[in-house]
Amino acid sequence: MTSKKRSGITSQIKDKLIQQVLERRLRHVEQVNDAEASTRSPAGIRNIPEQHYRFDMQPGYQQIRIINDGAARMGIGNPFFKVHEGIAGATTQIGGREYINYASYNYLDLSGNPEIAEAAKKAIDCYGTSVSASRLVSGERPVHQELEQAIARIYGVDDAIIFISGHATNVTSIGHLFGPRDLVLHDELIHNSILQGIQLSGARRLPFPHNEWGALDAILAEQRHHFERVLIVVEGIYSMDGDYPNLPEFIEIKRKYKAFLMVDEAHSFGVMGKCGFGIREHFGIKGGEVDIWMGTLSKTLAGCGGFIAGETALVEHLKFLVPGFLYSVGMSPVLAAASLAAVTVLQQEPWRVATLRERGRFFLEQARAGGIDTGTSTGLAIIPAITGSSIKAARLSAALFERGINVQPILYPAVPEKSARLRFFVSCRHTEAQILQTVQALVEEIERL
């Protein structure tokens, strides 16, 4: 039997036509819905620009896209969010390759320390991984109090309070303690967390030139009588530059003008002083001479979070009223136990601080000898290599990464464009051979660029 050729369209063409019809109907429905929504919306609502209700049109996101797209066109890869496959100390493993690592705050090599890890494991067995409540309600554990008492003893003050975030420690403490009738004066290079806290407080904010206590004195002479409370904020070691203030001068000024003085020791605790007790030990200052001592647990203390240390009235005020403590879950006992054990190791093994100081000084000397612009760094764990260009800093970071050296670029807007840099965090476990290799590679790659 002879088959006859079927007439008509093929099934593929038929499916395509059906799809087109469905798409046209969907577009029509969307247009009708948009038109109906437009008629329902007040006249003023119809004219709201898209960037006011779409995340992909937000100025911040658009800036990120512009930077990333521009970097991609120039062949510069994204230097951020590298995945470390183990403990990040003087060395680290990324993508199955070992690197000399300068992108970690693990100054004293305590993160990963067996004694500290064992203390954290015991805390899990005893308390679990979360206290599951605000400490005020039912989240209090002995390890919280033990850590706070240990910190208070180191500072020679009445008490201390620990928070679950270092950044939030500054934001919530300053934001609660001060208000619209107050003035906060801060070093122009102060950390973002301080600025966010001041903004939350509603206090008047005035920066003064970096480490210039004389300029601070002049501002207070003119402004002090206009405000009720005045807070002066400086850092122990400035995280971008690796230098520190002349703290005794700032103490004199705070006394002179009856102000409060706060010192952010995020990067100086565990680094400065013979025993690593911070800028207080470095200058031989009594704990009570500074009103608010702040520090973090995520750097030399191998945990996560922050603390405030000072007189009883300050700490009790924060424990009962500050929102970031009162309305937040208590610190995980695992982290509190790790930091408490780290305090013990810090006190029992002073060689870590001494070695860190030696390695930092050696890195700084070698870098300066190689013609590297290290700015005002004192060699205390943080040494910048200022490039003066974000593009140059990103390319330099990528070039060193190819040579087995992991160091992060600091780009605009984190710093002014002319201050773009690589930032080297030194560990007590870095060897002189590693440092020499790094500086030599740094000098060679700068010359190539």
Q: Within this chain, do residues 287 and 367 fall inside the same structural domain, yes or no?
A: no
Q: Is the pLDDT of residue 436 over 60?
A: yes
Q: Which domain holds residue 120?
A: 114-348
Q: Within this chain, do residues 327 and 225 fall inside the same structural domain, yes or no?
A: yes
Q: Provide the pLDDT confidence category of residue 73 given band limits of 50, 70 and 90.
A: confident
Please give the tally of structural domains in the chain: 2
Q: Is the pLDDT of residue 439 over 70?
A: yes
Q: Provide the pLDDT confidence category of residue 17 given band limits of 50, 70 and 90.
A: low
Q: Please check whether residue 52 lies inside any domain of the structure.
A: no
Q: In the beta sheet, which residues pair with residue 205? A: 184
Q: Please check whether residue 438 lies inside any domain of the structure.
A: yes
pTM of the model: 0.88
Residues 104-148 have pLDDT tens digits of 999 999 999 999 999 999 999 999 999 999 999 999 999 999 999
Q: Within this chain, do residues 225 and 160 fall inside the same structural domain, yes or no?
A: yes
Tell me what pLDDT residue 166 has. Answer: 98
Q: Please check whether residue 439 lies inside any domain of the structure.
A: yes
Domain end point (choices 280, 314, 348): 348
For the chain, percent of residues with pLDDT exceeding 70: 91
Tell me what pLDDT residue 6 has. Answer: 42
Q: Within this chain, do residues 391 and 268 fall inside the same structural domain, yes or no?
A: no
Q: Within this chain, do residues 341 and 356 fall inside the same structural domain, yes or no?
A: no
Q: In terms of C-beta density within 10 A (0-12 exposed, 13-18 middle, 19 or more buried), how is residue 437 classed?
A: middle
Q: Please check whether residue 30 lies inside any domain of the structure.
A: no
Q: CATH no. for residue 214? A: 3.40.640.10
Residues 248-295 have pLDDT tens digits of 999 999 999 999 999 999 999 999 999 999 999 999 999 999 999 999
Q: Within this chain, do residues 201 and 226 fall inside the same structural domain, yes or no?
A: yes
For the chain, percent of residues with pLDDT exceeding 90: 81
Average pLDDT over every residue of 376-402: 96
Amino acid code (one letter) for 117: A
Domain end point (choices 348, 383, 407): 348
Q: Is the pLDDT of residue 32 over 80?
A: no
Q: Within this chain, do residues 320 and 392 fall inside the same structural domain, yes or no?
A: no
Domain end point (choices 328, 348, 368): 348
Residues 289-338 have pLDDT tens digits of 999 999 999 999 999 999 999 999 999 999 999 999 999 999 999 999 99
Q: Provide the pLDDT confidence category of residue 371 given band limits of 50, 70 and 90.
A: very high
Q: Within this chain, do residues 313 and 377 fall inside the same structural domain, yes or no?
A: no
Tell me what pLDDT residue 74 has. Answer: 78
Mean model confidence pLDDT for the chain: 92
Which string of b and e fits 400-416 if b means at least 16 CB within 10 Å?
bbeeebbbbbbbeeebe
Q: Please check whether residue 32 lies inside any domain of the structure.
A: no
Average pLDDT over every residue of 172-179: 98
Q: Within this chain, do residues 385 and 314 fall inside the same structural domain, yes or no?
A: no
Q: Within this chain, do residues 123 and 267 fall inside the same structural domain, yes or no?
A: yes
Q: Within this chain, do residues 338 and 392 fall inside the same structural domain, yes or no?
A: no
Tell me what pLDDT residue 1 has. Answer: 43
Q: Is the pLDDT of residue 4 over 50?
A: no
